[in-house]
Amino acid sequence: MMASSDVDVRADDQNPSELDALCPSPPGPARPQRNYERIGGRAGTSFFQTLIHLLKGNIGTGLLGLPLAVKNAGLVLGPISLLIMGVIAVHCMRLLVQCSHYLSAKMNRPSMTYGEVMQYGMENVSWLRSRSHWGRWTVNLFLIITQLGFCCVYFVFLSDNVKQVVEAANATTGNCHMNYSNQTEILIPSFDSRLYMLCFLPFIILLVLIPNLKFLAPFSLLANLAMTASLVFIYFYSLTNITYPINLPKVGRAKDYPLFFGTAIFAFEGIGVVLPLENKMQKPEKFSQVLYLGMGIVTFLYISLGTIGYICFGEHIGGSITLNLPNCWMYQIVKLLYCFGIFITFALQFYVPAEILIPPVVARLSGRWETAASLALKIVLVIFTCVLAILIPELDLVISLVGSVSSSFLALIFPPILELVAFHTEGVSPLVTIKNCVISVVGFVGFLAGTYIAIEQIIARNALKHEETFSSFMVQ
């Protein structure tokens, strides 16, 4: 997903965000919070700019995987589940903002990060007070896992789509007719997708070594335009190639539903951008309107593309809907445009875990080694994400695994718990307590089931691939 879990920087122990890099805060000392006056002030972002950032933080590779998610849940159950998950995700985002407002006023701070909100919230509970820093560390850990997981997904997405374009190059025509499985009879002999990941590796390393993300701002704008244009073409093709009658299962298999959960929560995991956006807004009192409007648009896009894509391609739908587009020049260009957008987005997603992990290590070194150590650690982190992607080169399962393991905690489990601890001294009604416990339990069950099924499927597919490789070797 372009969706990123970014957090704001305001002190040495705070964490960075893509928004900080591309939209820095106005200079000057931090001001105490008065009503809704926060760090945005007159130099903050407008309503429309905040809305664009919110959309940008929630639309990415996760959107393209939703048609397969709908297949796993069923043609009726899938869209209904996406709607319910969207409502819960928005509610959890709202909880996070409310807790941030309350704790910022209580601690006389202009703003807080997700991790700090958790830390100061735990300080309200006497028996958690001495362990409150664990809350910040835990949130930061899941932010790191999520962001590096996004980077792994990007490696797999780039390799799968570019591999398909290369293999079908000599079969590419101007005829964009319906092609369910997107298999061509004439293919250029090509490498395994994992070798494509290794080919991308040096270019991505060079990308993340750019010292300041502000240099990427023009390319980020181009990437957003490219991805938007690609989505328009994907919608157009899917809508104009629906076949009737539609004979697809209304409800999917029960064992596939956890995979739906992982993919869906991966797509909806944009909660990390909420506080940075609200903190930087010119008129933060209007952020609720931005949140509801933006996430309403996001939820509509998720449900519509997930449903239309599944109806269009049916049982042949791939881990990304781009893999089902026909091998004509127009849609090959669409794939490459989206790949360009994902390539640039890699640096923005990578920025967050790199700036959380690297500074504490570099601070222990002497001045002359700081730059070299920082660059070396960035290279190691990129290689690490590439290795993970090579070990699990299955786009749909990687998305589901990342969503189940980390996104479920950040988007569903932590916010309801946070409200309970933040308002502990104020008293929380039994109804609110029950509601929050239900949301967190649903998130935790989704985490367990989604992680188990995703890992089981990964092992099964790898075993099948090894068996096929061994069989072809014996035949030769």
| Digit-coded pLDDT (tens) for 74-121 | 999 999 999 999 999 999 999 999 999 999 998 888 888 899 999 999
Judge residue 182's burial from the number of C-beta atoms within 10 Å of its C-beta, 0-12 exposed, 13-18 middle, 19 or more buried.
middle
**299, HSE (Cβ side, Cα atoms, 13 Å):** 19
Q: Which pLDDT score, from 0 to 100, does residue 39 have?
A: 45
CB 264 within 8 A of CB 70: no
CB 277 within 8 A of CB 111: no
Q: Which pLDDT score, from 0 to 100, does residue 245 have?
A: 78
What is the biggest distance separating any 2 CA atoms in the chain, rounded to whole angstroms? 76
Task: Find the helix packing angle between 287-313 and 257-268, rounded to 10°.
Answer: 140
Question: Which regions in the chain score pLDDT beneath 50?
Answer: 1-14, 18, 21-42, 181-185
Q: What tens digit of pLDDT does each residue of 392-443 get?
A: 989 999 999 999 999 999 999 999 999 999 998 888 899 999 999 999 999 9
Q: What tens digit of pLDDT does each residue of 253-288 get?
A: 999 999 999 999 999 988 888 888 888 888 888 899
